[in-house]
């Protein structure tokens, strides 16, 4: 079983739609959670951290359910520029320090 | 402020050749990492470093070596390239403080390596 699992998609949605991505993680010792965005043939970039209380950044809302080991990302009013792959990422603090484990990503295509 | 810079951006190697990928960061970050990204596999950690002069193995270290002689540089070496090492390689860095849980990584733009 992969440590971080995501539906690879693609999710094809019309502009203006609301879309939600889900992610599950297997290690209950995971401490921090993130969503990264990766454009085609580019490096991943931090989109937002995910907090237990849930957090919002403009059109983006992230939720964490530690009991179910489940993370979600909601995008409202989708824009063409939101088309990208969204990576779910978890961090486990070990003796070696801050190491992130990445999901394989969910591809989003926003269409006219 | 350049952030994380990787060189080269593209490279084609023949099987058995060696090369070094360079990663440089100007953010005074303590931690640096090398990942490879393959279709359907996600990003996998090759090696990482928690400070100048230190290195450690990640998830897929075989066939690679690294060095961190200076805090700002992290080198990834392929001693004898194999077709299985065809991939996109990303370097990343992070500022780490014990107890600060939500630091993300800053990535370089990647090196696309093909081994034929």
The model's pLDDT over A5-40, given as tens digits with 9 standing for 90+, comes to 999 889 999 999 999 999 999 988 888 899 999 999
Which has the closest alpha carbon to A40: A85, A71, A74? A85
- Chains A, B: CB contacts under 8 A, how many? 55
CB contact under 8 A, A43 and B109: yes
* Chain B residue closest in CA terms to A94: B98
Token output for B80: 């004898």
Shortest Cα distance from A90 to chain B (angstroms)?
10
CB contact under 8 A, A102 and B43: yes
pLDDT in tens, B31-65: 899 999 998 888 999 999 989 999 999 999 999 99
CB contact under 8 A, A31 and B104: no
Separation of alpha carbons B80 and A74, rounded Å: 45
């Amino acid at each position: 079983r992969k440590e971080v699992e995501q539906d690879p998609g693609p999710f094809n949605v019309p502009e203006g739609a609301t879309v939600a991505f889900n992610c599950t993680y297997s290690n209950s010792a995971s401490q921090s959670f993130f969503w990264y965005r990766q454009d085609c043939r580019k490096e991943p970039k931090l989109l937002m951290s995910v907090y237990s209380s849930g957090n919002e950044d403009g059109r983006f809302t992230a939720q964490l359910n530690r009991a179910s080991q489940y993370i979600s990302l909601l995008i409202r009013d989708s824009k063409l520029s939101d088309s990208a792959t969204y990576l779910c990422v978890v961090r486990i603090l070990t003796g070696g320090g801050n190491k992130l484990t990445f999901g394989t990503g969910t591809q989003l295509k926003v269409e006219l | 402020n350049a952030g994380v810079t990787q060189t080269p951006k593209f490279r084609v190697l023949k099987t058995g050749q060696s090369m070094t990928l360079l990663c440089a960061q100007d953010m005074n970050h303590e931690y640096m990492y090398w990942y490879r990204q393959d279709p359907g596999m996600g990003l996998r950690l090759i090696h990482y470093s928690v400070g100048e002069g230190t290195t450690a193995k990640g998830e897929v270290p075989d066939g690679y070596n690294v060095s961190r002689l200076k805090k700002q540089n992290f080198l990834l070496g392929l001693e004898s390239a194999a077709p299985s090492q065809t991939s996109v390689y990303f370097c990343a860095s992070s500022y780490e403080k014990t107890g600060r849980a939500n630091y993300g990584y800053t990535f370089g733009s990647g090196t696309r390596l093909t081994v034929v």
